[in-house]
Structure formats: C-alpha cells, structure tokens
Amino acid sequence: MGDQKNDAWIFSLAILLSSTLVYNSRGTIDNQAIENLQYVTELTERIKVKSPSGDSSSGDDDDGADAQFVQFFPKFVWAVRDFTLELKIDGRDVKEDQYLEHALSLKKGKDRKTTDYNLPRECIRNYFPSRRCFVFMTPASPEHMTRLESLNEGDLCPSFLAVTTNFCNYIFENSSVKTVKGGLAVTGRMLGHLAKSYVDTIARGDVPCLENAVLTMAKIENEAAGRDALMEYQKGMQELCFPVDLEAMSRQHRLCDTLATKTFMSRSFKDDGGEHLKDLAEAIAKHHADLLCQNEEASEALCRKLLSELSAPMAKKMQEGFYAKPGGYELYCADNDSVVAQFRSKPNRGVRAEEVLEQFLKEKSVESNSILQADNKLSEQERKIHEQNQKAALLEQQKQAEEERRVEMERTLEDEQRGQAEKIRMMKEKMEEEWKVQRAEADKAMQCKLQEQKELQEKGFREKAEFMNQEIQILKEKNSQSAKSGNFLTDTLLPIFSTALETVSSVFQIKAFKKSLFPPKKGF
C-alpha cells in the first residue's frame, strides 16, 4: 500500500473527475475488500460542495453536503478480477449486481462493530445510487497466465471475454458524459481545467470544492468564449470590401453580431450577471465603430478622387480662361451639371457621397461666382437670380448631406438596439436552459434518495429510513431555493444585465472620440 493520504486524495480526484468510477478488487467482494474502500467514509472531508467563504449569509456553509453528493458523483462500477468463488448466496445462483448488493447490505444493531461494518456500506449506498458489478474470471489457464501479454484473444477464457464484452457495452452505452455542478457537460478541454484546479487546491492543502472549481472553469471558458465570439465577428466583417453602402454594412454587422453572440452562448456558462457578454458587446461595439469609420473614410477618399478626376477637364478649361467670356457662365454650368451627373451615376460610392459632393460644390462656389460676376452677357437682374439659385442649390446639397448622416446614424442606432435586445433574449433563454438542467439534476438526486429510503424501509431499517428524512428535507430546501433562484434569474438578474448592457459605450461615442483624435483630411 502506498501513502494512505495520497491514496485518499487520488480516490477523491477520481470521483471528482469521472462520470463512471470503476473500482476494482481481486478475488471476491468480502468485508476486507469493502474496508479497503475506507476512503468513501472520509469523502465529506475531502470534497466540499459549496465554497466555505462563499455565501456567508446562509450560514450553512456545507450543511448536508453529502446529501448533495449524489447529484454530482459518478456512477459506480465494481469490477472483481480473478474471481475465485461461485456466484451464489446461501446456495442460490445470483446475478453479479445481486452479489454486489448483498455485499453492501446493512446489518441490524447499534453496537460499535455493527456501526463500523455498516458505515462504508452506507456511504457507498448513499453516494452512489447507480451501482453495477462485473465479475471477471481469471483471463486464461494457469500455464497461459505467465505470458498474458503475448496471448491471442483466442487463448483467453470465453467466459472472461463474455464479461469483458458486457462490461465494455455497459460503459459505452450507459456511461454518460461527465457533468459539473449545474449540469454542464464537460469537454476534454474543460476536464483539463478541472483537473488542474482540483490538483492545485489539494497541493495548497485545501479541500477541493465543486462550486469553486466550476466558477474557476466558468471564468476561463467564458473568457475564451468571448475571444472566440469577437474573432468570429471580426472575421465575418472582413468579408466587406470598403466602401460599402449603408445597407450592406448594416446587414453584415447584424449577421456577424448574431453569429458571434451565438458562438458566445454556445460556449459560455454561468455568466451570472452577464459580465462576459457585456464585455463582448463592448468589444464588438468598438470594432463596429472602427469599421464604420474606416468605411466612411474609404467612401470619402473614393468620392474625392472621383470628383477630382471628373472635374479635371473643367479645371483645365478654367486655367485656360475658357469660361472668361460672355456666356461663359452658361458653359460653366453645363460642364458642372455634367460632372455632377456623372458623379451621381457611379455606383458604390459609399456612405459619404453627398457630404463630399457638398464640400466639392462649396469649394467651387467661389470660382463659379467669379465667372458669374464676370459674364457680361447677363443683366444685373439675371446675375442676382443666378446667385440666389446657387445659394439655394448649396443649401439643398447641405440638406442632402445632413440627411445622409441622419439615415446612417438612425440605422446604426437601430442595429445597436436590435443587437442588445437579441443578446438579452439569448441570455434569458440560456439562463432558463441552465436552470432547467439544474432542476433535473436536483430531481434526480431526490429520486435516488427516495428510492434508497424505500429500500431501507422494506428491509426493516425503519430508524435509518427516518433518519434519511433529514437528508431529503435538505435536498427539498435546496430545490426550492433553486426554484426561487429561477425567478431570481429572470426577475432580478436579467434586468440588471439589461441595464448593464445599456452602459456599453455606444458606437457613436466611440466614433466621436476617434474622430476627435484623428480628424479626417479635407481637400480635392
């Protein structure tokens, strides 16, 4: 035997990490074999359900924790190797499971010897309501046993192979995926986090705690879920080739925001208060704002280039004094109209076309005015009218630029609100889902207890059965607490979370801040 204390910790680690615990012994299941499993009686000292420092208001730190063990403990399989006896009880043939149940049956009496005898059996019965037994004969004949490693399967005893097949079938069919407190299925990566967190705790000299381990793991997983989700958003948005129009930008943002939120939801759990989801929303808003700016800049640059190319012939004519003659203003206006019409007919100018055009026309208004004033084909009266028309046209263009901004702003705001509402809806679904799983976990534990109590009553252990009422009461209380916490989630936590989401900096704040740091360049 190794170090007793190490063995005890290894035993509790095995319980904490497995969904089916296979305990194996040699020969038979006799009293000695059960006493070797003494560690089960110490499990309350080696596994805590709740964090002791956690919720001090409840005052019951870990009261009745072992009543809750059934909720989180693995299925139990006893594998007896090199079984030497016949499967008989009092001369009757029995099945393997009956053999195990017989070995675990309690004795009546209150003396020390009986109590000691009963204790490990009671622990096994209480903590592991799902029990199976597999009895393996010696795998091969004695002359073959010395070279077991090099034997063919055909050299093994058929009865040994038959049990092995049953055993494997049972594990493959009925061993469920490992879950943690709260009912979440554990992936390989999460099992790694769990193992590390338990071993670290033990190495520190503390007692592993189911709740803490889950919280630690939740934090790691939720952070990773946030990173995955943000990456998904960023990758999706990369498909856009700026400048794009408002519609394309908005559509892609909505799509990617939804996908990212789904990605987050599928990996996160116990993000109570929605802190990590809020971080994600903030990160997405920031990235969205960046992209909106980039898209605007791309549109501005493209439109400037376009206008400057389209108006180049006009500028040349201007330099050559082409318009400086009677009737020059009419020629100028015709050229101007043609430039603007060509500009307007170009597709994919992005979200700043009207604004850039406004700047362009404003800039040109000095030049056009000087041509107007110099054109002596026109009467004073006509000049006045043209001047007024120009002013009106500039004002009109200014309105269009403002409208362009307003539409973009409204759409972005709409997208943000829609994104928030969607996140809240998904969060609610997720909370309800997590809560349902917890309820199912608690209900299952309750069923197990009631079943065990019934068996005890039937076998005449009235006192023990009554004693179990206490445990059942504790579970009931926990269940009703969790029922309340279901309401708590949707009635209290969700509104808090919604408010928190509202504090996520809006895309406009972020954009405005960016713009104040890096004002865009002007000029044609």
Residues making contact with ligand NAG (CB under 6 A): 169-170, 173-174, 333, 336-337, 340, 361, 368, 390, 393, 397
> Based on CB atoms, which residue is closest to ligand NAG, 372 or 474?
372
Contact 91, 79 (CB under 8 A): no
- Minimum CB separation of residue 405 from ligand NAG in Å reads 19
Q: Which of 417, 312, 325, 408 is nearest to 360 (CA)?
A: 312
At its nearest, how many Å lie between ligand NAG and the CB of residue 283? 43
Contacts of 502 (CB under 8 A, 6+ apart): 420
Our CA angle for 231, 233, 235, nearest 5°, is 65
Neighbour order of strands in the sheet with 75-81 = 20-26, 75-81, 131-135
d(CA 298, CA 304): 10
**To 10 degrees, the CA torsion angle through 51, 56, 57, 61?**
50
Q: How far apart are CA 230 and CA 519, in angstroms?
A: 27
**Closer to ligand NAG by Cβ: residue 168 or 421:** 168
Round to whole Å and give the CA distance between 55 and 59: 8
Q: Which residue is nearest to ligand NAG (CB)?
A: 393
Nearer to ligand NAG, 383 or 418 (CB): 383
- Minimum distance between the CB of residue 522 and ligand NAG, rounded to whole angstroms? 19
Q: How far apart are CA 136 and CA 159, in angstroms?
A: 8
Least distance to ligand NAG, CB of residue 85, Å: 23
**Least separation, in Å, of the C-beta of 160 and ligand NAG?**
17
Closer CB to ligand NAG, 390 or 457, in the complex: 390
Select 337 or 463, whichever has its Cβ closest to ligand NAG: 337
3-class DSSP state of 274: helix
Round to whole Å and give the CA distance between 353 and 521. 15
Closest distance between ligand NAG and the C-beta of residue 451, in Å?
Answer: 14
Q: Between 275-310 and 494-502, two packed helices, what is the crossing angle to 10 degrees?
A: 30
Letter for the amino acid at 347? P
**493 touches 415 (CB < 8 A):** no
Q: In angstroms, what is the minimal distance from the CB of 394 to ligand NAG?
A: 7
Residues in the chain, overall count: 524
Q: For ligand NAG, give the closer residue by CB, 340 or 472.
A: 340
Q: What is the dihedral of CA 474, 475, 476, 480, to 10 degrees?
A: 100
* Enclosing H/E stretch for 25: strand 20-26
Instruction: State the minimum distance, in angstroms, from the CB of residue 363 to ligand NAG.
Output: 11
Between 38 and 179, CB nearer to ligand NAG: 179
Closer residue to ligand NAG in complex, CB, 126/368: 368
Write down the least CB distance from residue 359 to ligand NAG, Å: 13
Instruction: Say how far apart CA 394 and CA 388 lie, in whole Å.
Output: 10
Q: Which is nearer to ligand NAG, 332 or 461 (CB)?
A: 332
Closest of 77, 100, 80 to residue 173, by C-alpha: 77
Tokens of 499: 């408010």
Name the residue nearer to ligand NAG (CB basis): 134 or 264: 134
Q: How far is the CB of 390 from ligand NAG (least distance, A)?
A: 5
Backbone angles phi, psi at 256, to 5 degrees: -70, -35
CB of 75 to ligand NAG, least distance (A): 10
Q: Which is nearer to ligand NAG, 25 or 368 (CB)?
A: 368
Rounded to whole angstroms, the Cα distance separating 296 from 302 reads 10
State whether the Cα torsion 354-360-365-370 is positive or negative: negative
